[in-house]
Amino acid sequence: MLRNRGKVWGAGGVLLALVVIAAGCGGGNNNGGGKTIALLLPENHTPRYEAADRPNFEAKVKELCSDCKILYSNATQDATLQQSQGEAALTQGADVLVLDPVDAGSAGAIVKKANAQNVPVVSYDRLITNSDIDYYISFDNVGVGKLQGETLIKGLKAQGKASGPVVMLAGDPADNNAKLFKQGANEALKAGGVKIAKSYDTPGWTADKAQNEMQQAITALGNNGFAGVLGANDDLGGAGIAAMKGAGIKPSTRPTTGQDATTAGLQRILIGEQYMTVWKPDKPEANGAAEIAVALAKGDSVPSGLVNQQVNNGKKDVPSVILTPVAVLKNNVNKVVEGGDVKKSDLCKGSFASACQSAGI
């Protein structure tokens, strides 16, 4: 499975927002030999990437390979910029790319260049489709959507509106994960007999666009024309809630889903505005990606037992690590705090202190 990864220097790579981070030089007999690992993340408006994915990945790489270097870049939701960053990483001599694509399709150009230089690629969090990638690590993303749909049905039943209808605020159509979340949610809602009154795909996962979509839905359906909101992540769910509040609708009467267990999303859950979120614990994903990347950079075998599935990306069956997401409601918000992905001091500050105390946090 390992490629022959002699360094071949690419031409014309442009260094854009690329930060070279040298991991600390600790002791121990590792065979890192100054290997270089590139981490390419897609955007920075979702808090998880800079607050969790990056630091956890870097810490694990440092633990496993004290003299490995990390080339880090963030594409700020710009697929063209990410292609330039990928080229720059290859020009800088990256031994492996860990790539979370802005666009699952256009990222194939980065993979093709890496293939030409015998540099392995780990598809991180989002599957890079129709490309010769080496490994994939993520969560069960259809399962994420099913969790959202199934949990939303419970909230609808509690409101006496078991069949809905609901408004769906889905994610960026260029993101393969968004397609999978939507697939899972649609399957769950259909199985539960819940009607979807309006459905939107939200380019860039941006909250302002989602708020406009929700305002359009309210205008079309009326304040009483929907019973809940399937928000694909916390930003979109929060945008739906903001639009409801602007229309004079109490969010507590319209259960709304989210994803990523952001601080803002959890705070809305604690005060009863948002019904649920999906928590994808960051450390197992970031740590697993680091383990794979370090092994590939060194030319070692990927740790046995790490890979648990083969996922077809349209070109091949990719050895994959698929993790299990967790539904979070008010009664288990504390799990996220205990897991280390959200700090109690951030979650419970100011006006949220009493809500935290009531929830046992």
pLDDT tens digits, 143-169: 999 999 999 999 999 999 999 999 999
pTM of this structure = 0.83
* DSSP calls for 47-91: THIIIIIHHHHHHHHHHH-TT-EEEEEE-TT-HHHHHHHHHHHHH
- Mean pLDDT score, 303-331: 96
- Mean pLDDT score, 211-237: 98
Three-state DSSP class for residue 119 = coil
Q: Which residue has the tokens 């022959």?
A: 4
- What are the C-alpha distances in Å from 335 to residues 48, 274, 359? 17, 17, 11
The pLDDT tens digits for 227-276 are 999 999 999 999 999 999 999 999 999 999 999 999 999 999 999 999 99
Task: Report whether pLDDT(316) > 80.
Answer: yes
Domains detected in the chain: 18-133+282-323 (3.40.50.2300), 141-280+329-358 (3.40.50.2300)
pLDDT band per the 50, 70, 90 thresholds, residue 8: very low
Task: Report whether pLDDT(20) > 80.
Answer: no
Task: Report whether pLDDT(331) > 70.
Answer: yes
Distance CA 203, CA 100 (A): 17
- Mean pLDDT score, 68-94: 96
Task: Report whether pLDDT(85) > 50.
Answer: yes
The pLDDT tens digits for 278-298 are 999 999 999 999 999 999 999
- Mean pLDDT score, 124-142: 96
- What are the C-alpha distances in Å from 237 to residues 118, 162, 213, 283, 313? 42, 20, 12, 24, 29
Displacement of CA 49 from its chain's centroid (Å): 8
Distance CA 267, CA 274 (A): 8
The pLDDT tens digits for 166-182 are 999 999 998 989 999 99
Give the pLDDT score at 33: 58
Task: Report whether pLDDT(49) > 60.
Answer: yes
Contacts of 132 (CB under 8 A, 6+ apart): 111, 112, 115, 121, 315, 316
Displacement of CA 26 from its chain's centroid (Å): 31
pLDDT band per the 50, 70, 90 thresholds, residue 142: very high
Burial 298-335 (b: 16+ CB within 10 A, else e): beeebeeebbeeebebeeeebbbbbbebbbbebebbbe
Task: Report whether pLDDT(223) > 80.
Answer: yes
219-225 contacts, C-beta under 8 A, 24 or more apart: 221/167, 221/197, 223/247, 223/248, 223/249, 225/165, 225/197
Q: Which of 6-15, 208-217, 338-347 has the lowest mean pLDDT?
A: 6-15
Task: Report whether pLDDT(17) > 70.
Answer: no
Residue type, 39: L
> Mean pLDDT score of the chain, rounded to an integer?
91
Task: Report whether pLDDT(30) > 70.
Answer: no
Q: Which residue has the tokens 């740790």?
A: 303
CA Rg, the chain, in Å? 21
Task: Report whether pLDDT(25) > 50.
Answer: no
Give the pLDDT score at 174: 87
pLDDT band per the 50, 70, 90 thresholds, residue 105: confident
